[in-house]
Amino acid sequence: MHVLATAIASGADAIITFNAQDFPGHVLAAEGITRRDPDGFLWEVQSHHPEAMARVVETVRAKAEAISGQPVPLKALLKRVRLYRLAKAMGV
């Protein structure tokens, strides 16, 4: 539970993870921490800062293309990393 220990030590309000199994809500609640899923968290950020999120997502997509050496469609990239709500909010 080094992630939880780090969150507690740093005074974090939340842990952002898809991994609900290793971060049970009752354990986190006892420490005053919530678990947020990445898609919901990023959707919320995008709803408040759409231009900034668009820049970040484009940077990530460009990096994925540089690594793979081939085009990476944004819709496919966001689907692969299970960011369905973010993709929908961004219109892809």
pLDDT tens-digit map of 18-58: 999 999 999 999 999 999 999 999 999 999 999 999 999 99
pLDDT at 1: 62
- What CA–CA distance (Å, rounded) separates 16 from 34? 9
User: Is residue 17's pLDDT more than 90?
Assistant: yes
User: pTM above the 0.85 mark?
Assistant: no
Q: pLDDT tens across 62-84, in order?
A: 999 999 999 999 999 999 999 99
Q: What is the DSSP string of 42-80?
A: HHHHHHH-HHHHHHHHHHHHHHHHHHHTS---HHHHHHH
Classify residue 33 by its DSSP letter.
-
